[in-house]
Structure 1
Amino acid sequence: MSLEQGSIVEGIVTGITNFGAFVELPGGQTGLVHISEVAEVYVKDINEFLKVNDKVKVRIISVDPKGKIGLSIKQANPSANRGNRKPKFQPSFEDKLAKFMKESDERLSDLKRQTDSKRGGRGSKF
């Protein structure tokens, strides 16, 4: 079967790696769904989204001359992915910075307390 870029086909997940999933397509060819093409949301662990032997609908996004086939699950079901999953709350940069500064200040004060107790407290002379 000739696979054309842009077509949507159904396949079976045959293998999972930390960078994506291999999907067997009709005709016995295998393509790769990169981890960034699994879902609309950030995917830290692909195993939370896919398992071996899952049937998936994929869009063929590239076919190179060497025969490598690039696939996308999120492009095959764009409306389904957006509707089913609520995006997780993403704190703003300012929120992350404020949290970091607070934790940093706490660690610094703990370190000063420990250092002062080893020296004999404040104001002691050597």
Structure 2
Amino acid sequence: MSIEVGSKLQGKVTGITNFGAFVELPEGKTGLVHISEVADNYVKDINEHLTVGDEVTVKVINVGDDGKIGLSIKKAKDKPPVTRRPSQSGPKNNNRERGESFEQKMNRFLKDSEDRLASLKKHTESKRGGKGARKG
């Protein structure tokens, strides 16, 4: 059985590093599951998801010319297709009207940004001794 891109295989975790996990595949070959391919959410510490000796299902995502095999655990999971109806288009943007134009959104964003920046400057200048602070 040759290892081809797109195939799903069973493997055993043989080593863990800070950037991923090495998985032993059939035929004695070894591939790497990069930390970004372990789970759908952000993985800060791979040890919270995998341990040496775990049996995992992986999908081959690439095979390099040098023989290195890239694997994914998250892509090996069968996910039901996501179908959305117009009424399920996600959360409304702060209960604002959906008909808001791009220019209106951009103007609101700029105003909010300027307000936040002014507030940040006001608070940091008073703590650093800038503008209007007494000089010793």
Q: Which amino acid aligns with 2:127?
A: D
**Which digits, 9 at most, give the CA deviation of each residue in 1:64-89, with x for residues without a partner?**
23211110101101429xxxxxxxxx
2-structure distance, mates of 1:57, 1:103: 48
Query: SS where residue 79 of structure 1 aligns?
Result: coil
Displacement, 1:45?
2.2
Deviation at residue 117 of structure 1 after TM alignment: 6.3
Distance 1:29 1:7 in 2: 14
Residue 44 of structure 2 corresponds to 44
Please report the TM-score for the alignment, with normalisation by the length of structure 1. 0.65
Alignment CA distance shift 1:39-1:116 (3 Å): same
What is the rounded CA distance, in whole Å, between the counterparts of 2:46 and 2:33 in structure 1?
A: 10
Q: What residue is the counterpart of 1:110 in the other structure? A: 127
Change (3 A) 1:4 1:48: same
SS at match of 2:74: coil
Gaps of 5+ in 2: 81-108
> For residues 92-116 of structure 1, what are the alpha-carbon distances to aligned partners after superposition, in whole Å with 9 as ceiling and x for unaligned?
xx7xx79x84566433322228x94
CA RMSD after TM alignment: 2.7
Question: What amino acid does structure 1 have at the position aligned with 2:23?
Answer: V
Q: Structure 2 matches for 1:11-50, cutoff 5 A?
A: 11-50=11-50
List alignment gaps of at least 5 residues for structure 1: 81-93, 120-126
CA distance in 2, matches of 1:110, 1:74: 46
Distance 1:42 1:66, change over 3 A: same
* Identical counterparts, % of pairs: 55
Distance 1:110 1:77, change over 3 A: same
